[in-house]
Copies of this chain bind each other. A is one copy, B any other.
Amino acid sequence: MHDDMGIPVLADIENAASRIRKQVSITPVLNDPGLDAVLGTTFFAKCENLQRTGAFKFRGASNAILRLREKGIQGDVATHSSGNHGAALALAAKLDRRSAHVVMPKNASKLKVEAVRRNGGVVHFCAPTQRDRESGLADLVAAGHIPIPPYDHFDIIAGQGTAALEIAQAGLGVDAIITPVGGGGLVGGTAIVGKAVGLPVYAAEPAGAADTAASFAKGKRVDSWQPDTIADGLRALVGLRNFEIIRQNVQSVITVEEQEIKEAMQLAWQHLHLLIEPSSAVVIAAVRKSPAHFSGKRVGAILSGSNIDPQEWLRLVGAGG
């Protein structure tokens, strides 16, 4: 229906929602009055940290794989990933009786390598540079595997948008939605939903990986940034078409400091009883520091993932969290 190089519309996201329904969890939305008091807003946490494979990434991966099936395209898939997309693609492929080949830097965390393997993926180690990752993937594609990139892809964006669709359909009466931004798959899909249903969408980004905020301010995509943040899921540069969606449809990109991210992780544990990864916590930090945008509002915030070693969580947040 749509060109895979194009930008999804609401109908694509609605179709994705029907397509992935049997595999993907409708994640819970949590609210805690104690957290609301801290944030000065009514905060609805959309718990993609409780999604299968522990991250929203499974929505996009599931949609991409099921679209291959619909189109009758057979064969294994491949990607490079140091994070959640690899595990999500592995599971989505396994459920469709395909293999997923994931190029990972040889210094990737043991936990993330195990997550890919636990979900049935085949790990190919490479030297830890962007060039080696890309050439590793190119080799797999040359061998006939279908590339499924983590965010700059029509079906991935449409799949990630289904989380926002669930927020919009849940009858919560939200005034705005906020998501983290790394490569821009999640905020891209969310912004398409927001635009269609008349809800302003905000993006939250670590100051140490603020290429999207810089791009947004300039109105032109910044194509180089040396990321330095604990939010490992948000170190990627925003994708080309992802930035185009953001530029046109996102209200504001709010940057937060590392200490604010750590405090937000602690707030999530104390008030929501959830251990979340730093990339998730940026939305809590952004709402907390931006009363001008959110004070007194009802805000739907996507907690993107839970994939952190509890030991690392403790190192970041401190004992007695």
Contacts and interface: CB of A to CB of B under 8 A. Distances in A.
B321 A50 contact: no
Please tell me how many copies of the chain the complex holds.
2
A267 to B, nearest CB: 12
Nearest to A318: B311
A54 interface: yes
Interface string A87-124: 00000000000000000000000110000001000000
A274 B272 CA distance: 11
B30 A50 contact: yes
- Which of under 10, 10 to 19, 20 to 34, or 35 or more describes the interface residues of A? 20 to 34
Nearest to A275: B275
Interface string A266-287: 0001101111000000000000
A26 to B, nearest CB: 10
A94 to B, nearest CB: 11
Interface string A35-64: 000000000000101101010000000000
Contacts of A311: 314, 319-321
What are the 7 A-B residue pairs with the smallest beta carbon separation, nearest first? Answer: A28-B28, A273-B306, A311-B319, A275-B275, A54-B273, A310-B321, A310-B314
A272 B50 contact: yes
9 contacts: A25-B31, A28-B50, A33-B52, A50-B272, A110-B320, A118-B270, A275-B310, A309-B321, A310-B314
Contacts of A294: none
Nearest to A269: B310
A56 to B, nearest CB: 12
Contacts of A273: 49-50, 54, 275, 306
A151 interface: no
Contacts of A216: none
A223 interface: no
Contacts of A110: 320
A32 interface: yes
Contacts of A243: none
Greatest chain B CB density within 10 A among A310, A313, A319, A321 is at: A310
A282 B285 CA distance: 35
A317 B34 CA distance: 29
A178 to B, nearest CB: 21
A313 B317 CA distance: 15
Contacts of A28: 28, 30, 47, 50
Contact of A314 (B49, B50, B314): B314
A309 to B, nearest CB: 6
Contact of A32 (B32, B52, B111): B52
A227 to B, nearest CB: 25
B314 A320 contact: no
A193 B20 CA distance: 35
Nearest to A276: B273
